[in-house]
Amino acid sequence: MSGGGSGGVQAFKLFRPDWPTTSVVFSSPHSGRDYPLSFLRKTVLDDRTIRSSEDAFIDILFSDAPGQGAPLLAASVPRAFIDLNRAAEELDPAVISGARMSGHNPRISSGLGVIPRVVANGRGIYRGKLAMTEAESRIETCWRPYHRQLESLVEEALARFGQSILIDCHSMPREAIESARAGGRQRPEVVLGDRFGTSAGAEIVDRIEQAFSGAGLRVGRNAPFAGAYITQRYGLPSRRRHAVQVEIDRSLYMDETEIRPNAGFDPLRRVLGEVVASLSAIGRPDDVPLAAE
């Protein structure tokens, strides 16, 4: 199922299981790679550089979710076009004509608002500013459909299972986690973000960590990524709505310069297939089988 869209691109693709068996929902808001021609004509970046802020191929790495009874909502629209992991109100005056800054927002200040001004390493996307009508069009036709669908999946899980566990799937540049080696610690290969305990219950996060570490991956928490808008919006553990951001080291599976899979891609995909099965089991009631009888 696809939905929404602007400038010839669909906002998302939804992969549903034949039969839902778990309260776990997977989302991949930054793996979209359908670039509208109208957008490519506006950017000053080449076709490869414009892709540098993608969580490339993450939707493929987590594609076993429907087979485990869990839905996977994957962006089609690229992050450089609109960032689905930002609030719709996070408008950057430096790139959108007529936008007004309300207080200090470090994401906007660094060019990473809902309509990004830059891609990786602070490289500017546009030569000038966009009209407010362009920003509003992208939000209305891409951002809102994605979040309406995500909210619907979370509510469906709550209604069916009495809880929802949102796994928000991302990837991180190798250089972003070099600092995690301070004090002699090993660099994590996976970073879980629960906004320092506010977006998910401790037992849920512990079990998510066990799913990754049990598959042989080194896991860290909340540094350097603690979770952004999606975990903040959909994580409310007091109401049995849990949300955890998952960041995977890109160097494990792709050439970050060429933006293409490397030799580690297929092995990691197999490992993450096991992880997805373990994660889905966290939200599966004891009396619900994997497949409908």
Local confidence band at 182 (pLDDT 50, 70, 90 cut-offs):
low
Burial of 253 (0-12, 13-18, 19+ CB in 10 A): buried
- Reply yes or no on whether the pLDDT at 5 is more than 60: no
Local confidence band at 6 (pLDDT 50, 70, 90 cut-offs):
very low
- Reply yes or no on whether the pLDDT at 183 is more than 90: no
Q: Compute the residue count for the chain.
A: 293
Q: Which residues of 17-48 are buried (b: 16+ CB within 10 A; e: fewer)?
A: beebbbbbbbbbbbbbbbbbeebeebbebeee
Which tokens in the block code for residue 95?
């790139």
Contact status, residue 188 vs residue 218, Cβ threshold 8 Å: yes
Q: Which CATH architecture has domain 2-84+145-282?
A: 3-Layer(aba) Sandwich (3.40)
> What is the dihedral angle through the alpha carbons of 254, 255, 258, 261, rounded to the nearest 10 degrees?
-30
Local confidence band at 293 (pLDDT 50, 70, 90 cut-offs):
very low
pLDDT averaged over every residue in the chain: 93
On whether the pTM is more than 0.85, the answer is: yes
HSE-CB at 214 with a 13 A cutoff on CA atoms is: 13
Local confidence band at 186 (pLDDT 50, 70, 90 cut-offs):
confident
63-118 residue pLDDT tens: 999 999 999 999 999 999 999 999 999 999 999 999 987 777 888 989 899 999 99
What pLDDT does 106 receive? 87
